Amino acid sequence: MTVQFSGQRPGAELNGLEDLHDDLMKADAEDVLVVGIVRRAKRVLNDEKDEQYPVVRFARVEPVLDDAGRKTVQQLLDQAYRARTGNEALDLPEVEGE
**Is the pLDDT assigned to residue 97 strictly greater than 90?**
no
| 23-27, 42-46, 69-73, 86-90: least confident range | 86-90
pTM of the model: 0.78
**Is the pLDDT assigned to residue 69 strictly greater than 60?**
yes
Report DSSP letters for the chain, one per residue: ---EEPS----GGGBGGGGGHHHHHSTTPPP--EEEEEEEEEEEEETTTTEEEEEEEEEEEEE--SHHHHHHHHHHHHHHHHHHHSSPPP-PPPPTT-
**pLDDT tens string 75-85:** 999 999 999 99
